[in-house]
């Protein structure tokens, strides 16, 4: 089978539910019925394959239901299946007929210390090596998974009981586990933020999380736990527009500070990235190829100039990257920070709100109000800036259309996102004050 056939087989929910059911007894070491399987995400990989996320709900009879998150690596054409002895049998599922390798969490072939941060007893030892906790007496009460991406990163929320002379203090911390190179890069960004006005005690409440410490050898960085709700989770809540206003102020503040040396990211870099996505979609879903090709050609023809002042940009700024609590808005996740056009973040945020209107049509007017509140919070000025926002927004829409077409649940909205590109390029959108 080719990579296209393999991808379609690996994202066929009914087929994969049946196949995972046969594996449950082995990788769980216990009986259970797979009641539900959901494929929330699928990403193309640089090696020519795909990463595919599987969420499983397993009914364990008298013990109730258990949710398991797995990531599969669908191999590219030039890759060979790993030997089945590379990991303990219970840690690796191989569907050799379609070239799909599924490590059973917390085993991860690239994050070799990840099990040490999950398995009972070991997190305390690993956390105790971090300066923030070194030499202190504490117990790990709970380890909650916040996010995971195969071979890239895993984020936990730990609840700790800190033993003091006068009793026990319960605290929460957030830990990010990644490859040491990525942890080192994250540490540098935190060090840069420490000299800005975005620290946790910032008087205007526009912040980043406080850095607590790291163990680079084992690939972990520790941050403060910030209470609050993500902007995404507030869709449908009456506080959503106000929180969008704060998100606008937050990203504008990031654009106004100095963070020193960062890699550059240009419009040409964006076009190169989009070209790869279009090629992938054309190969997997040829019926969408013409629409994606036309959209890419239009974005290429409308490429913005380079006569703008670059500044620090987030490069992945959208509604899941901010936390909101009374008096505080917190920016998350700095893996893609770069020097670029500030309109990039603005356009990417607005494109994601376009996406949310199709995912949550019952909240369309609230989302439109939220986008207008974001515009007000950012306080952008000038037609040239708005023109650049429209271009980055169109580019983000094409990227989102490609990525979401790979997700079974959302493939149907890809064409809607492509249609949004024309209005975005022409300025016939929320930025011009026009409501749909």
Summarised one tens digit per residue, pLDDT across range 260-302 is 899 999 999 999 999 999 999 999 999 999 999 999 999 999 9
Distance of CA 263 to the CA centre of its chain: 20
The CB density around residue 64, as the number of other CB atoms within 10 Å, is 8
Is the pLDDT at 84 greater than 60? The verdict is: no
Rounded Cα gap, residues 250 and 253, in angstroms: 5
Give yes or no for residue 434 having a pLDDT over 50.
Answer: no
Q: What was the pLDDT predicted at 350?
A: 97
Q: What six digits make up the tokens of 116?
A: 């040490």
Report the DSSP pairing between strands 138-149 and 100-103: unpaired
Q: What would the pLDDT profile of 13-45 be if each residue is shown by its tens digit?
A: 999 999 998 887 776 655 678 899 999 999 999
Provide the strand spans (E) within 303-395: 311-313, 322-325, 328-331, 338-340
Do strands 206-207 and 328-331 pair parallel, antiparallel, or not at all (unpaired)?
parallel
Distance CA 218, CA 259 (A): 27
User: CA torsion, points 350, 353, 354, 360, in degrees to nearest 10?
Assistant: 180
State the pLDDT at residue 30. Answer: 58
Burial class, 243, CB count within 10 angstroms (exposed 0-12 / middle 13-18 / buried 19+): buried
Percent of the chain surpassing pLDDT 70? 92
Model confidence band, residue 433 (pLDDT cutoffs 50, 70, 90) = very low
Q: How far is Cα 120 from Cα 104, in angstroms, rounded to an integer? A: 17
- What number is the average pLDDT over the span 48-58? 93
In this predicted structure, what is the pLDDT of residue 3?
87
Q: 160 CB contacts (<8 Å, ≥6 apart)? A: 127, 133, 138, 139, 140, 141, 170, 171, 172, 173
pLDDT tens, position by position, 100-110: 999 988 999 99
Say what the pLDDT of residue 380 is.
77
Calculate the average pLDDT of the chain: 91
The residues with which 142 forms a beta bridge, in sequence order, are: 159
Q: Is the pLDDT of residue 144 over 70?
A: yes
**Cα dihedral value 273, 277, 280, 281, nearest 10:** -170
* CA distances, 5 to each of 40, 97, 286, 318, 354 (Å): 19, 11, 13, 32, 31
* pLDDT tens per residue, range 291-319: 999 999 999 999 999 999 999 999 999 99
Cβ atoms within 10 A of the Cβ of 374, count?
Answer: 27
pLDDT of residue 83: 60
Give the rounded percent of residues in the chain with a pLDDT score beyond 90.
Answer: 78
Q: pLDDT confidence of 91, banded at 50, 70, 90?
A: confident
DSSP state of 98: T
User: Which among 43, 56, 148, 100 has a CA at the least distance from the CA of 406?
Assistant: 43
The model's pTM is 0.92
The string of pLDDT tens digits covering residues 186-233 is: 999 999 999 999 999 999 999 999 999 999 999 999 999 999 999 999
What distance in Å separates the CA atoms of residue 318 and residue 217, rounded to the nearest whole number? 31
Cβ–Cβ under 8 Å, residues 346 and 267: no
Q: In the structure, what pLDDT confidence band is assigned to residue 432 with cuts at 50, 70 and 90?
A: very low
Alpha carbons 54 and 43: distance in angstroms, whole number:
12
Residue 207, classed as helix, strand or coil, is: strand
- What would you measure as the largest C-alpha separation in the chain, in angstroms? 69
pLDDT of residue 254: 97
SS3 194: coil
Which pLDDT score is estimated for 60?
72
- Of residues 88 and 237, more confidently modeled: 237
**Per-residue CA distances from 95 to 73, 92, 344 (Å):** 10, 10, 40
How far out from the chain centre does Cα 398 lie? 17
Q: What integer pLDDT is reported at residue 81 of this predicted model?
A: 76
CA 267 to chain CA centroid, Å, is 22
Q: How many CA atoms lie within 13 A of 138 on its CB side?
A: 27
* Nearest residue to 63 (alpha-carbon basis) of 96, 33, 43, 108: 33
pLDDT at 435 over 50: no
Res 436 pLDDT > 80: no
Task: Give the Cβ contact number of residue 318 at 10 Å.
Answer: 21
- Give the residue-averaged pLDDT of 352-379: 97
Question: How many CA atoms within 13 Å lie on the side-chain side of 357?
Answer: 21
Q: What is the mean pLDDT of residues 343-347?
A: 97
Per the CB < 8 A criterion, the answer to whether 407 and 41 are in contact is: yes
pLDDT of residue 237: 96
Peptide bond into 106 cis (omega under 30): yes
HSE (side-chain half, CA atoms, 13 Å) at 317: 29
């Amino acid at each position: 089978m080719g990579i296209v056939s393999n991808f379609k087989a690996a994202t066929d929910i009914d087929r994969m539910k049946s196949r995972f059911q046969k594996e449950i007894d082995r990788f769980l070491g216990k009986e259970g019925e797979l009641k539900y399987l959901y494929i929330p995400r699928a990403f193309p990989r640089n090696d020519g394959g795909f990463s595919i996320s599987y969420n499983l709900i397993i009914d364990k009879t008298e013990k109730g239901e258990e949710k398991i998150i797995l990531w599969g690596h669908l191999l590219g054409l030039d890759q060979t299946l790993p030997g089945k002895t590379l990991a303990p049998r219970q840690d690796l599922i191989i569907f050799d007929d379609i070239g799909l390798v599924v490590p059973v969490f917390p085993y991860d072939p690239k994050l070799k210390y990840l099990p040490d941060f999950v398995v009972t007893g070991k997190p305390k030892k690993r956390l105790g090596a971090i300066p923030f906790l070194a030499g202190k007496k504490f117990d790990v009460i709970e380890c909650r998974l916040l996010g995971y991406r195969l071979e890239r990163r895993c984020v936990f929320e730990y609840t700790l009981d800190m033993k003091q002379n006068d009793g026990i203090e319960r605290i929460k911390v957030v830990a990010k586990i990644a490859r040491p190179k990525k942890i080192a890069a994250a540490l540098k960004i935190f060090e840069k933020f420490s000299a800005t006005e975005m620290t946790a005690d910032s008087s205007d409440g526009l912040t980043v999380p406080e850095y607590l410490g790291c163990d680079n050898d084992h690939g972990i960085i520790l941050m403060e736990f910030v209470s609050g709700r993500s902007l995404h989770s507030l869709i449908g809540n009456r506080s959503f527009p106000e929180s969008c206003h704060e998100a606008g102020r937050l990203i504008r503040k990031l654009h106004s500070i100095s963070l020193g040396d960062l890699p550059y990211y240009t419009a040409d870099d964006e076009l190169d990235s989009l070209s790869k996505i279009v090629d992938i979609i054309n190969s997997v879903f040829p019926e969408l190829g013409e629409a994606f090709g036309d959209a890419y050609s239009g974005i290429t023809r409308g490429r913005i100039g380079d006569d703008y002042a670059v500044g620090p940009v987030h490069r992945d700024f959208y509604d899941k990257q901010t936390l909101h609590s009374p008096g505080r808005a917190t920016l998350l996740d700095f893996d893609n920070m770069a020097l670029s056009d500030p309109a990039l973040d603005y356009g990417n945020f607005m494109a994601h709100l376009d996406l949310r209107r199709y995912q949550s049509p019952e909240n369309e007017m609230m989302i439109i109000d939220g986008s207008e509140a974001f515009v007000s919070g950012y306080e952008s000025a000038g037609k040239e800036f708005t023109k650049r926002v429209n271009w980055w927004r169109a580019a983000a829409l094409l990227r989102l259309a490609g990525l979401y077409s790979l997700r079974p649940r959302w493939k149907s909205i890809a064409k809607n996102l492509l249609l949004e590109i024309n209005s975005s390029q022409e300025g016939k959108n929320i930025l011009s004050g026009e409501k749909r």
